[in-house]
A and B are shown apart, each in its own frame.
Chain A
Amino acid sequence: MARKLRVWVDHNVCVGNAMCETFAPQVFQLNANRQSEAVNPAGDPEEKILEAAENCPVSAIFVEDADTGERLFP
Chain B
Amino acid sequence: MAFAAINDDMFAEDVIADPYAYYGRLREEDPVHWNEKYALWVITRHDDVVWMTRHHELFSNAVFKNDPLPAYPDINESDLGLYEYVRNYQADQFIQHDRPEHLEMRKVVHSYFTPRSMEAWRGFVKDAVKELLDAAEAKGRMDVMKDLATPLPVLVIAQMMGVPKEDRAHVRHLAELLLNIGRGEADRMKPLVEGMQGMIDYVSPLVDERIVKPGNDFISVLADGEKRGIFTRHQVLVNTSLLLLAGHETTINLLCNGTLSFIRHQDQWEMLKDDPAARAKQATEECLRYDAPVKSIQRIAAQDVEMRGKIVHKDDRIRWFITSANRDPEVFAQVDTFDISRDPNPHVAFGSGVHHCLGATLARLEGQEVFKALAERFPSLHLETEHLEYQPSITFRSLKSLPVIWN
Report Cα–Cα, A33/B360, bound state, in Å: 22
Contacts of A58 in B (CB 8 A): 115, 356, 360
Set of chain B residues within 8 Å of A56, measured between Cβ atoms = 114-115
CA distance A25 to B30 in the complex (A): 40
Q: Which residues of A contact B261 (CB under 8 A)?
A: none
Cα–Cα, bound, A17→B114 (Å):
12
Report whether A16 and B354 are in contact in the complex, using a CB–CB cutoff of 8 Å. yes
Is B114 a contact of A57 with CB atoms below 8 Å? yes
Quick check: B360 and A55 within 8 Å, CB to CB?
Answer: no
Number of residues in A with C-beta < 8 Å to the partner? Answer: 15
> Which residue from A16, A19, A22 sits with its C-beta under 8 Å from B352?
A16
A48 CB, nearest partner CB in chain B, Å: 14
The verdict on B116 contacting chain A, using a C-beta distance below 8 Å, is: yes
Instruction: Annotate B78-108 by CB proximity to A: 1 below 8 A, 0 otherwise.
Output: 0000000000000000000000000100110
Binding site for A on B (CB under 8 A): 53-55, 103, 106-107, 110-111, 113-116, 344, 346, 350-354, 356, 358, 360-361
Q: How far is the CA of A34 from the CA of B114 in the complex (A)?
A: 21
The total of interchain contacts (Cβ-Cβ below 8 angstroms) comes to: 47
B54 x A34 contact (CB < 8 A): yes
For B344, the chain A residues whose CB sits under 8 A away are: 12
- Supposing A22-B103, A33-B54, A34-B55 touch, asked if A55 and B110 sit within 8 A by C-beta, the answer is yes
Determine if A16 and B353 form an interchain contact, defined as CB atoms under 8 angstroms apart. yes
6 tightest A-B contacts by CB?
A34-B54, A15-B352, A17-B356, A15-B356, A16-B54, A16-B353
Q: B107 contacts which chain A residues (CB < 8 A)?
A: 19, 22
Other A-B contacts than A12-B346, A16-B352, A57-B110, 20 sampled, CB-CB below 8 A, are A15-B352, A15-B356, A17-B352, A17-B353, A17-B356, A19-B106, A19-B110, A22-B107, A54-B114, A54-B116, A55-B110, A55-B111, A56-B114, A56-B115, A57-B115, A57-B356, A57-B358, A57-B361, A58-B356, A58-B360
CA distance A48 to B5 in the complex (A): 55
